[in-house]
Every structure is written in structure tokens, then in C-alpha cells.
Amino acid sequence: MPKIGISVDFETTPGNEAAFERLIREHAAATVETEPGCLRFEVLRVCGEDDKPVLGRFMVTELYADLAAVNAHRGTPRMATVRDALAPLIAKRRLVLGEVVD
């Protein structure tokens, strides 16, 4: 089975950058710590053409051992709590899931 990568691009609602970053970093750390199928979960600040961080823009990249690990991640009880906490902080979200090409 191929590894699965996930990329999510977030735009936060005005004034909620710090709260979003704190929550998403906590979520990333908990995912790596408690889910054996999660191989990597990184939080990035999106940079503009001037190479400077864009206010309110974040991206996460995740790597899972396989699709079963992704589905386990999606099914953790913590996910509902995280979604509810992040919802008012997010203006836009774009998720892309793909198989890793070896």
C-alpha cells in the first residue's frame, strides 16, 4: 500500500492567526504522538513572492503510512473537537490528498 500525503491550505479569519496557530500546532503534536500511522505532521506559514510570511495563511503537510492510517486519523474522537475549535478561526480551507509516488 502506498503512503498517503495530505496538504491543507488555510486562511484564518481576521485577528485569529495566533489562536489558529496554537490549536493546529497542538493538534499536529498530538497526532504524531498518539497515532502510529502518522509519519509526519508539519505546520507552515505561507510565504508570499517577497519570501515573507503572509498574515493569516498557514499550510499543513501530513504523511501517513497508508490509507488505513488516514482513516484512523479521521476517525479519532479528538478530530471532532479540533474541527469544532478551528471552525470559527478559518475563513477558507483547501485539502489535497494524494498517494506518494516512490
CA distance 34 to 12: 26
- Residue 102 in this model has a pLDDT that exceeds 90: no
CA distance 39 to 26: 16
For the segment 67-90, what is each residue's pLDDT rounded down to a tens digit? 999 999 999 999 999 999 999 999
Percent of the chain predicted with pLDDT > 90: 98
Sole residue written with cell 499543513? 60
Count of the separate structural domains present in the chain: 1
Domain holding 75, by residue range, is 4-99
pTM: 0.93
CATH code (residue 16): 3.30.70.100
